Amino acid sequence: MRLKDKVALITGSASGIGKASSLLFAREGAKVVAVDLKLDAAEATVKEIRDAGGEAAAFAADVSKAKDAAAMVEFAEKTFGKLNVIFNNAGVFHPNDESVTNTTEEIWDMVINVNLKGVFLGCQYAVPALLRAGGGSIINTASFVAVMGAAVPQIAYTASKGGVLAMTREIAVEFARQNIRANSLCPGPVETPLLAELLADPARRNRRLVHIPMGRFARAEEMANAALFLASDESSFVTGTTFLVDGGISGAYITPDGDAPQR
Assign 186 to helix, strand or coil. Answer: strand
CA dist 150 and 158 (Å) reads 7
Of 75, 108, 125, 157, which is the active-site residue? 157
Please indicate whether residue 157 is annotated as part of the active site: yes
CA dist 222 and 112 (Å) reads 26
Burial of residue 242 (CB within 10 Å: 0-12, 13-18, 19+) is middle
CB 182 within 8 A of CB 240: yes
CA dist 9 and 123 (Å) reads 11
Strands 136-141, 180-187: pairing is parallel
- 44-55 burial code (b ≥16 CB/10 A, e <16): bbbebbeeeebe
CB 245 within 8 A of CB 182: no
Please name which of 79, 245, 91, 254 lies closest in space to residue 164, comparing C-alpha atoms. Answer: 91
Report the length, in residues, of the chain.
Answer: 263
Active-site annotation, residues? 157
